[in-house]
Structure 1
Amino acid sequence: MLTAVLVFAIVPAFLILGFGFVARTIAAQRVTPRVVQYSPERGSTVLRDALLVDADRRAASAALIDLAVKRKVRLIAGSGKRKRRPVAVELAPDVALTAEEAALLEALFGREHSGADVRRFSADRRALAGRVKSLLLNIEHALAREGLIADRRVTWPSVTLTVFAYLGMLVEVAFLAVATVAADWPAAIATLVAVAATIATIFVAPPAWRKFLPAATAHREHLAGLRQYIELAEAERLRVLQSPSGAELRATDASGHAAAEADGPAARFHLHERLLPYAVLFGLEREWMAKLKLEYAELGQSSIDTLGGLVDITGDLDLAIEAAGGVAQLAADVGDLADAAGNVIDGVGGAFELFNS
């Protein structure tokens, strides 16, 4: 009995589990950055880059924060004594939105708010989820037309592994029943091990994945280099990479003005604030905001006066989060968006708590 279990249950179970790990590795399509990058590529957008790094769940939240960082919108909270108050977004006066930015705001708030300066998050979960999904799908189609990704996602490995896993479980359940009736406990235990491996396969097998084409490699390497830079936020290497001899820092704001001296605290804050949406994309917002907090503390009054509105992120956005009752409450207020496209302020917001501490 034990031999039959080993041949027809244990070996197949671990074989498909191994294939599951292989498929997951292939699906990741990891790239290695050639150099550390200090800003997004010219002409790129947060939404497009989110799809190029498979960060769909954080795309909408990162793009919203990008609008706030660019001072095109302002997060505001409603009045009242309740801990959970309505959250809205206020458009800056005379702001010029790109077609993609306008589509993002329409997806988040609906067409009924398209002519208003202040827009409130939709209370209709299903409609909100559908609009965000449609927005990302349109961007995915655009990337396919540009030859960066395949027209269709790769589905057959996931389907094949799942089918084999369920067939294996049928065989294993039969073995387990026979072993239990026969009181063959070694065979029963071996069968349970096979069942565990088969269940693990279902979780390990990757879902249908986006296939990146060779034309996307350079873009994805650039984003990997940007992630590497953000990951170095607390490392001493960061200061070396930022030195005048180590790198030429560029501003990434909408105005396109050049950054000040590369090794100055004002220039660092100017650059790093604009990388916050990408820190959100990579799930590194807490570490990055901690870095921003330290850099803000380093700024002298003269630097703050020079930067002017660039340091508003420590003011307007922070006050809005605090007025909403903290990040956790704000996340609850916009929970509809979290269901559709990942954690909006949970991914974004834990960061702002650092300024409230």
Structure 2
Amino acid sequence: MTELAFVIGTVSEAVRLAPVIRACERYEVDHAVIDTGERRFGGVERPLFDQFDLPAPDITLDVGTGSHGEQTGMMLAEIERALVEVDPDTAVVHGDANSTLAGAIAASKMRPEVARVGAGLRSFDRRTSAETNRVVPDHVADYLFAPTEKNRWYLIREGITELRITVTGSTAVDALDRVREAGSDEGAVLDDLGLAEDGFLLMDVHGRTNVDDPDRFRSLLEGAARAGHAHGMEVVYPVQPRAREQMERFGVDVPAGVRAIDPQEYAEFVQLLGASAVVLTDSGDVQEEACILGVPCVTLRNNTERPETTEIGANRLGQCSPDGINRAVTESLAAGADWESPYGDGDAAERILDGLPVSVERGEVVR
């Protein structure tokens, strides 16, 4: 019988569950990985698993794209079949994608218990599918691993008993530590692109709210270009496939001063992020990673599920007009990066494994 089954469907989920999967490998915990294939784009494939020194997923479902209902419904049926095959004691999910929701619901209706890594993140914008995908898995989970005390408080406020919640820190810290330690070609991306550390702005925009609205998309690009020009810095924009498709569909031109490049593998993107002067993003994951790496962040959204980053001055929120983006970049550069990350010390995976009902043969856990 398998002790743990990890359900993943996006690069973000793979990155943040990889440290826990690696801990299972180290301590010989019987486990399986189910890849739903929710967002492929060359994503949760061999290169990413290689970066974490992990074998390929045990089961690949490859559900592909579709409407939220169509994709989630298909995943429910396929994940259920995969869980029957794997027969785990506990199913582990992370994130706010449809795979997270489908994995949690499928397991909760079967025998496995549900473990929720990254529990308690809230933007409080219930109009978004991502918020639904955060809230529902938390309420069906048996084990909730919250990155911060604020996340724990949100869960308790929603009526979840403290006995099910453990504050662990974020596995993003573990993942970043692993990538940086393993990065023998550190700096290669900067050399290839002719970039100097702290000499450029990094742009990461791919959310539907931004790229599906051509006027908003143009405004964000113009704001990034204006900020780069004001501070004598080039803006580097790794464009995800869907954002590229929308650019072509709407005829959105990339302004002078913004260099659109191909999407980067996770390790290469981390190098770019760590070396940038400021990152402009609509990704909650990147907000968190920037905070951990000590890089000021400007969030191109009106809300965030990482409020800790704004509270400590690592992140400026809701800057979506060209003038607002330029002003936020100026403020970020002036303020610098004098904060302490709230996301832990890089031992989240160990704490999560400690909190799960698994058989582990090992010595003392390093905290």
How high is the TM-score relative to the length of structure 2?
0.25
Higher strand residue share: 2
Could you say which structure has the greater relative contact order, defined with CA pairs below 8 angstroms and 6 or more residues apart?
1
State TM-score, norm by structure 1.
Answer: 0.26
Q: More helix by proportion, 1 or 2?
A: 1
